[in-house]
Amino acid sequence: MEAAQKHGMKVRGYVSTVIACPYDGKVAPAKVAEVSERLFRMGCYEVSLGDTIGVGTPAECVAMIDAVAEKVPREKLAAHFHDTYGQSLANIMAVMERGIAVFDTAVAGLGGCPYAKGASGNVGTEDVIYLMNGLGIDHGVDLDAIAKAGREICAALGREPASKVAQALKAKAAA
């Protein structure tokens, strides 16, 4: 942090496994708050809270966000949800209602978690854009352009997109 600050670089902090850890099980929201506060006090301009194994539910995510928000201003928090159990959009909605407005996504829902066997990729960018469009939230991201990029990346990787919206748009285009 000192070197980054010395050179005028902004640092975004990340806390992984904020709901559960593949090695230690459930993670206490107070512990997430403690680590997040340390990162914020060190000088991180924002702290991203990651359910990196994708096991969180809306109630768990709200409890975690509320605990962290007692130590770090909500406008300095971001969320990072993997979609292993299909809860990422529900989790986003739940924490949006608690004042979180920044979310990490991955085009076509690509990715995974190297230390959690079976964990899926981060929530699909296409899925989040579609959600935001439906909520009337102005975000400035072109859904069709993102979906096209995702299709091209997936074609190069020889795999199908994990994003439900990407899958629906691909099927619609093929019809």
Helix (H) or strand (E) holding 80: strand 77-81
Q: Where are the alpha helices (DSSP H) in 49-124?
A: 58-69, 88-96
Given the residues 21, 44, 61, 113, the one annotated as active site: 113
What region does 55 belong to: left with phi over 0, alpha with psi -120 to 50, or beta? alpha
Residue 131: count other Cβ atoms within 10 Å of its Cβ: 18
Cα–Cα distance measured from residue 125 to residue 106, given in angstroms and rounded to the nearest whole number? 5
Percent helix, strand and coil across the chain, each to the nearest 5? 45, 15, 40
Candidates 51, 18, 50, 22; CA nearest to 117 is 22
Please say if 44 is a catalytic residue. no
Residue 127: count other Cβ atoms within 10 Å of its Cβ: 23
- Residues with catalytic annotation? 113
